[in-house]
Structure 1
Amino acid sequence: MPDATDADGLTVGQVSTRLGVTVRALHHWDEIGLARPSLRTAAGYRLYTAGDLERLHRIVVYREIGLGLDRIRTVLDDSPADVPGALRAQRTQVAERIDRLQQLSAGLDRMIDAHERGLLLTVDQQAAIFGPQWNPDWPAQARQRYGDTTQWLQYAERSASRGPEEWQAIADAIAGLDRALGDAMDAGVTPGSPEANQLVERHREVFASYFPLTRQMQVCLGRRYEADPAFAAHYDGIRAGLATWFRRIVDASARAHGIDPDTATWQ
């Protein structure tokens, strides 16, 4: 490495400022032989010449478009005729990356909407799937009431990935469960029986479409079905007394799993 005076080139710090790269990066490129300063002062400090700076400019450009250091070395040191091919290959990779980012952006938009709205369906879609008794204001009311809970977060994450077909399948599963509950009550199925316990487990599985439901949470939900006028009207509209019967089979199942329904909490 030829000796020079300080006026013959730029120091590492000066190049770092001029190109907007870190001193550490310049030292690394020097160590791996990608861009070495051509001069050294009498005091031993390395200096970059105009030619060195031109190479560094190209490295910065190629790095910003996504080329790795090994690929940059090849582009810089091999035949200039190879450069367009390398850049075309990189352009293809960039286009693929842009497509993935656009998909990610669309997914994030849906996730944001799901957190804020709860249900990513139009009013007409909601009516077609959930029936004429469905109130399209319910998701917004639920967001206002439960929006700061873990369960709303879990519900929103599931909702973001669902379209009308998935929601129709969930609505069908709920309707099927409601019919099974009414039929079981008519048949005289008793709380704590295998048939009743099977229905309790089925309820937890169906409800998991919204968020995971623990047994303690299910007890709390059973009490809400019985005490809340809207829920009670729904279940009692299927069969008179069904809300209370459902609460009783949930309580019996909870006891069988060592849970006291009287002290169960939402956890």
Structure 2
Amino acid sequence: MTATTSEAATGELLLDCAGLNAGYGGAVVCRDLDIQVRAGEVVALIGANGAGKSTTMLTVAGEIAPLGGTVSVFGSADRAPLATRARRGLSYVTEERSVIMGLTTADNLKLAGVSVDAVCGIFPELRPLLTRQAGLLSGGEQQMLTLARALAREPRLLLADELSLGLAPQIVARLLGVVRSAADERGVGALLVEQHVRQVLKVADRVYVMRRGRVIAEGTSAEIAADLESVQRAYLSTATD
């Protein structure tokens, strides 16, 4: 299954992985990945646990170096680290919530260098929680804080690894809806690793399906949704790299 052209496909190319091999200590986990994200486009990366999705994200973010192929971010094919890519306009939300539990919500924002008004404009739910310690927030509130902090930096490209981990469906829908709004209203490009497949298909423009470190299918969300049962059978048939 190959992707068809979506409305977002005419936007600036923000991320272009070509023949990417990724892994650790010289051992290849992901092979021959061709992944693109354009401005204003939400792209989902789905697959079973162990398929190589997080390894892909770490490589795209600049946390680990490619073992082959290229990762071009904002038109530059280099091996810049995450800090450099962040200064150029990349925000990365990792699988682990990155709030500092002993600080208040407001102090977490201050430490990140983002304004309260910007964050509460994204998630108004956070305003009554500004004086509360982050460790006392619910899991959903912590993830709102994490995502709002990333988007308040006004990135051009957002990488988010498992926003929905351990969260109720209504919170997942809220988080993914904010990502969709950032793409539509501000032209942010987003690459999302997501286990809530049906939820992410509602907001994504395109989807890449991974199994054993390779992309085994790609298409628009409508194409993947129309053949979802066979796609899920394919990637769930083997959960290891």
Normalising by structure 2, what TM-score?
A: 0.23
Normalising by structure 1, what TM-score?
A: 0.21
Higher strand share: 2
- Which has the higher Rg, Structure 1 or Structure 2? 1
Q: Which has the higher contact order (CA 8 A, sep 6+)?
A: 2
